[in-house]
A and B are shown apart, each in its own frame.
Chain A
Amino acid sequence: MAAALELDRVSKTWGAMRAVDNVSLRIEAGERVALIGASGSGKSTLIRIASGLALADPTSGGVRSFGLGVQDKGKLSSEVRRARRQIGLVFQQFALVGRLTVMTNVLVGVLGRISRLRGTLGLFNDDEKRTALAALAEVGIAQHAGKKARELSGGQQQRVAIARALVQGAKLVLADEPIASLDPKSAKRVMDTLVTMSRDHGIALVVSLHQVDYATAYFDRVIAMNAGRVVFDGPASRITSAFLTELYGASAEELILPSQFAVPAAAVLETTSSEPVS
Chain B
Amino acid sequence: MFATETAHRSVAAALPAPPVTPLATRLTRLCLGAVAVVMLVFFWHEAEMNPAQLVQDAGNMATLGADFLRPDFTDWDVYATAMIETLAIAVWGTLLAVIVGIPFGILCADNVVPRWVAFPVRRLMDACRAINELVFALIFIAAVGLGPFAGVLALFVHTTGVVAKLFSEAVEAIDPAPVEGIRGTGGTWFQEIIYGVLPQVLPLWISYTLYRFESNVRSATVLGIVGGGGIGMVFNETMRGFLYSQGAAILIIVIVTVSCLDIASQNIRKRFI
**Interface residues, chain A, with chain B CB atoms under 8 Å away:** 51, 53, 81-82, 84-85, 87-89, 91, 93-100, 104, 108-109, 111-113, 116, 119-120, 122, 161, 164, 168
Contact = CB atoms under 8 A, between A and B. Distances in A.
A49 to B, nearest CB: 13
B191 A119 contact: yes
Contacts of A119: 187-188, 191
A163 to B, nearest CB: 12
Contacts of B199: 97-100
A120 B188 contact: yes
B190 A89 contact: no
23 contacts: A51-B184, A53-B184, A81-B186, A84-B186, A88-B184, A89-B185, A95-B178, A95-B180, A96-B181, A97-B196, A98-B178, A98-B199, A99-B199, A99-B200, A100-B199, A108-B187, A111-B187, A111-B191, A112-B186, A116-B188, A116-B190, A116-B191, A119-B188
Contacts of B183: 53, 84
B100 interface: no
Interface residues of B, number: 20
A82 B186 contact: yes
B196 A84 contact: no
Given A97-B200, A99-B199, A120-B194, A53 B180 contact: yes
Contacts of B180: 53, 89, 91, 95
B184 A122 contact: no
A268 B238 CA distance: 99
B185 A120 contact: no
Contacts of B191: 111, 116, 119-120
Contacts of A87: 184
Contact of B190 (A82, A96, A120, A161): A120
A113 B186 contact: yes
A89 B181 contact: yes
Contacts of B177: 91, 93-95
B204 to A, nearest CB: 12
Nearest to B194: A120
A242 B183 CA distance: 40
B96 to A, nearest CB: 23
Contacts of A108: 181-182, 185, 187, 195
